[in-house]
Structure 1
Amino acid sequence: MKAEKAEIRKSCLTARDAIPTEERIEKSLTIADLGHDAIAFEPGTIISGFMPIRSEVDIRPLMADLRSRGAKLCLPVVLDKETIVFRAFEREAPLIETGFGTMGPGPDAAIVDPEIMLVPLSAFDDQGTRIGYGGGFYDRAIERLHAKGKVPKLIGIAFDLQKVEKVPAEPHDIYLDAILTESGLQLFKE
């Protein structure tokens, strides 16, 4: 199953990498616009975003919109080979290299527990199964939140072309509640 997932990951990331830069920017802006109406929350809700790496959807415009609507933002930070935590992302806070090729708040930022998580991914299917980047960071982080009695809403963020017919699921996989692409928000469970 790991080999099958690796092949799907490679295929989807290759397709995503092939999206021309201008088109990727336009699709990212469309996703931000659609997210404005699709992602409902109360002011003060803690929402985790992410800084884009490689050819990921650039959700910085979406995060700016969420902040303007009262969300408290946080970003993932890699602590070690097994662990990410989510640090509060304040408007003027400097960002530092935080592992896995991304940027995030430094160690002075508070560690928080997100209530809504915008989740990067390599591939997804119609059942809400996702393939990440192979490190299991998000699965473990979500398991830690569940162990604390917290059940964050999980919204995958991807381009339409990252959808596959079927993602092979393993027992440790955690399913998405929804996926947001340039076609809109697709709910998998209420």
Structure 2
Amino acid sequence: MTSRQQLRQHIRNLRRSLSAEQQQQASFDLVQQLLPRPEVQHAQHIALYLSNDGELDTTPLINSLWQLGKTLYLPLLHPVVPGYLVFQLYSPDSQLKPNQFGIGEPELNCSLLCPVDQLDLIFAPLVAFDSEGQRLGMGGGFYDRTLSQLDSAATKPKLIGLAHDCQQVESVPVEAWDIPLPAICTPTKFRCFSEQ
């Protein structure tokens, strides 16, 4: 377990050390990589997240997707089942409040929730990834638990991890519960690891 913790801390430090200019350029380059992709073009209901802790800034992507008329959702900590996420509609006028991790999320409104299997696409955060599509998250297991509920034969949602190029490592130490990502997008490259 120590190697996962050490790797997580090392990569978090790396991405936090990027300058404001590097972060801004990376976020715009990410949009250029993603918008032409058929996975994005054909998706209407898209879940993504608000950046935190040096993560690739998703703000330009969010604004671009809204301009394309996409319906967006943010993850919220499950109100009843600890350790899981639910996804709630996110619009330009959504009011956000910090959750227990200090990340903005809308006030829970059950009428605005979208079941995970009704989403077309989920952009997932990650701390580190490798050339096999293995993902190392922040350690809470929220995405792994939530995505493990999906039928393995389901065609949606499609999953794409978002990361800075500096977050790629030689090998991510894998645990049984880890769910690899079929695709990961960085500012310089879209990587496919398996058919979606």
Question: 1:139-172 CA distances to partner (integer Å, 9 max, x unpaired)?
Answer: 0111123389574211110000000001121211
Provide structure 1 residue ranges, at least 5 long, that are not aligned to the other structure: none
How far the C-alpha of 1:96 sits from its partner, in A, is 1.9
Alpha-carbon distance between aligned partners in 2 of 1:147 and 1:189, rounded to the nearest angstrom: 13
How far the C-alpha of 1:89 sits from its partner, in A, is 0.7
Alpha-carbon distance between aligned partners in 2 of 1:145 and 1:186, rounded to the nearest angstrom: 22
Decide whether aligned partners of structure 1 residues 110 and 150 sit closer, same or farther in structure 2, where only a CA change above 3 A counts: farther
Is 1:104 aligned to residue 109 of structure 2? no
Question: 1:37-90 CA distances to partner (integer Å, 9 max, x unpaired)?
Answer: 1343336x2111111112111111112212222321100111364122111112
Moved beyond 6 Å, runs of 4+:
none
Alpha-carbon distance between aligned partners in 1 of 2:151 and 2:58, rounded to the nearest angstrom: 25
Provide structure 2 residue ranges, at least 5 long, that are not aligned to the other structure: none
| Counterpart for residue 77 of structure 2 | 78
The residue matched to 1:146 in structure 2 has which SS? coil
1:93/1:105 contact within 8 Å kept = yes
Q: What is the aligned-residue identity percentage?
A: 30
2:12/2:53 contact within 8 Å kept = no
Instruction: Specify the code of the residue in structure 1 equivalent to 2:96.
Output: L
Is 1:139 aligned to residue 144 of structure 2? yes
1:42/1:70 contact within 8 Å kept = no
Alpha-carbon distance between aligned partners in 2 of 1:161 and 1:58, rounded to the nearest angstrom: 14
2:182/2:192 contact within 8 Å kept = yes
Decide whether aligned partners of structure 1 residues 182 and 147 sit closer, same or farther in structure 2, where only a CA change above 3 A counts: closer
Instruction: Specify the code of the residue in structure 1 equivalent to 2:84.
Output: T
Q: Name which of 163, 167, 192 aligns with 1:187.
A: 192
TM-score normalised per structure 2: 0.88
Alpha-carbon distance between aligned partners in 2 of 1:145 and 1:60, rounded to the nearest angstrom: 28
How far the C-alpha of 1:178 sits from its partner, in A, is 0.7
Moved more, 83-92 or 119-128: 83-92
Q: CA RMSD in A?
A: 2.0
TM-score normalised per structure 1: 0.90
Instruction: Specify the code of the residue in structure 1 equivalent to 2:125.
Output: P
The residue matched to 1:15 in structure 2 has which SS? helix
2:40/2:121 contact within 8 Å kept = no
Q: Name which of 163, 166, 171 aligns with 2:176.
A: 171
Instruction: Specify the code of the residue in structure 1 equivalent to 2:98.
Output: E
1:9/1:122 contact within 8 Å kept = yes
Alpha-carbon distance between aligned partners in 1 of 2:152 and 2:28, rounded to the nearest angstrom: 35
The residue matched to 2:31 in structure 1 has which SS? helix
Moved more, 154-163 or 113-122: 113-122
Alpha-carbon distance between aligned partners in 2 of 1:75 and 1:145, rounded to the nearest angstrom: 18
